[in-house]
């Protein structure tokens, strides 16, 4: 496993992401509130470019059976990505697929060193 400097951390703003090529693989690198995540740009469904999808949040709903009221809250902005080919959604923090339990993104270690984002591949 090798470590690669990608870009200065200041160049990838909160909520932004980019796709880079490392060792013949495309890797998506994401800044979510100052925390960085990296995943191979490959979707487990039909090999689509998942890291080129749109990021969004999560609609969290809780239903109260006694009052028959539903409490809805938009949470986790930019932590969810939808594959641009068929819309499978993945959690960028854990790598888990929302609709297919047990299906994961291929994740990589990522950290900031001397102001540079570094990804291990
Ligand atoms: S290839 Fe990603 S959802 Fe189909």
Per-residue pLDDT, 78: 94
What residue segments make up the domains of the chain, in order of their start?
Answer: 3-120
Give 30-69 pLDDT, tens digit per residue: 999 999 999 999 999 999 999 999 999 989 999 999 999 9
83 lines ligand 1 (CB under 6 A): yes
Residue 1: its pLDDT value, please?
86
pLDDT of residue 99: 86
Q: How many CB atoms are closer than 10 A to CB 120?
A: 13
The best mutation among 26, 41, 51, 88 to test binding of ligand 1, ranked by most ligand atoms within 8 Å of the C-beta, falls on 88
Cβ within 8 Å of residue 115, ≥6 positions away:
8, 9, 10
pTM: 0.91
Alpha-carbon distance of 111 to 118, in angstroms, equals 5
CATH number of 3-120: 2.102.10.10
């Amino acid at each position: 496993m090798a470590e690669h400097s990608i870009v200065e951390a200041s160049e990838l703003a909160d909520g932004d992401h980019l796709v880079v090529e490392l060792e013949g693989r495309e890797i998506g690198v994401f800044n979510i509130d100052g925390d960085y995540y990296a995943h191979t740009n490959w979707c487990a469904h039909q090999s689509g470019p998942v890291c080129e999808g749109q990021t969004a949040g999560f609609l969290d709903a809780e239903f109260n059976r006694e009052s028959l009221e539903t409490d809805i809250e938009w949470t986790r902005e930019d932590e969810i990505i939808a594959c641009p080919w068929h819309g499978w959604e993945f959690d960028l923090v854990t790598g888990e697929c929302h609709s297919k339990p047990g299906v994961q993104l291929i994740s990589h270690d990522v950290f900031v060193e001397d102001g540079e984002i570094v990804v291990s591949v």
